[in-house]
Amino acid sequence: MAVETENATATADGSDTILKARTDKREYRRIVLKNSLEVLLISDPETDKCAASMNVSVGSFSDPQGLEGLAHFLEHMLFYASEKFPEEHGLFKYVNEHGGSSNAFTSTEDTNYHFDINTDSFDEALDRFAQFFIKPLLSADATMREIKAVDSENKKNLLIDSRRMRQLQKHLSREDHPYHKFSTGNMDTLHVQPEAKGIDIRSELIKFYDDHYSANIMHLVVYGKENLDKTQGLVEELFQEIETPTRVFLDFLVSRVL
Ligand SMILES: [Zn+2]
């Protein structure tokens, strides 16, 4: 049986029962917003921190040929600013000032964004977070700054043995497999080479976002202090605007059928 609410559906039959330990006092609910975003809500009245995590099922395997590191670069740019909250690294600063932390990572087929924060500052932080996926700024002036940030992250990685081993393994893998590609990105792959070929990296960044950041391939977990109904209302209000472009949705349906 499906329980319908204004903006979301939550199935309440056996297939959707969330199993938990008897000692676990927290309450859980799975909902799917009308834009196809799947959400796990958790209510813990005793917590002193709230948290959220958004997983987008796209990663470095989807980097266009010749633009290695684009998915990772986009991850940085979403953290930079949004149209509603244009202050540089606004969410990062906000959660730091309110007892929390934030981070993200880009893997081969997923990009994950997450934060935690004191309970009384959660609603605003969640609003700032939702805007990453609704209207990120992706501004021209931020582009070079974040390419430099990615480049310095890569330089730091060069000194870590496990990272060096992984890159060697990638280099030795089949050239026609996406695993072969360099995935972190650096000044060369994100600026020098594209510029030499006349490629506008910011246009490619916006295209990558438009092509891949779609609600139907996102999964959100929200851990709140309030009851499930209240947290559900907040999530519906803040995340309903994430789009699922028609073309992306059709590709998704075809991939499910084949
Ligand atoms: Zn990074």
Neighbours of ion ligand 1 (CB under 5 A): 153
What is the CA(106)–ligand 1 centre distance, in A? 8
Q: Which is catalytic among the residues 146, 204, 226, 236? A: 146
For domain 24-257, the CATH class is alpha beta
CA of 142 to the centre of ligand 1 (A): 15
pLDDT per residue over 209-225, tens digit each?
999 999 999 999 999 99
CA-CA-CA-CA dihedral for 67, 69, 71, 77, to nearest 10: -110
237 is catalytic: no
Ligand 1 centre to CA of 116 (Å) is: 19
Q: How far is the CA of 145 from the centre of ligand 1 (A)?
A: 13
Active-site pick, 75, 204, 226, 236: 75
Asked if 175 is an active-site residue, the reply is: no
Q: For 168-200, write each residue's pLDDT tens digit.
A: 999 999 999 999 999 999 999 999 999 999 999
- In this prediction, residue 3 carries a pLDDT of 41
Q: How far apart are CA 188 and CA 192, in angstroms?
A: 5
Angle at 239 between CA 44 and CA 91, to 5 degrees: 75
Distance 87 CA to ligand 1 centre (A): 19
Distance 187 CA to ligand 1 centre (A): 13
Give the residues of the chain that fall short of pLDDT 50.
1-7, 12-15
pLDDT for the residue numbered 254: 73
CA distances from 97 to 16, 89, 93, 101 (A): 38, 12, 6, 9
Q: How many residues does the chain have?
A: 258
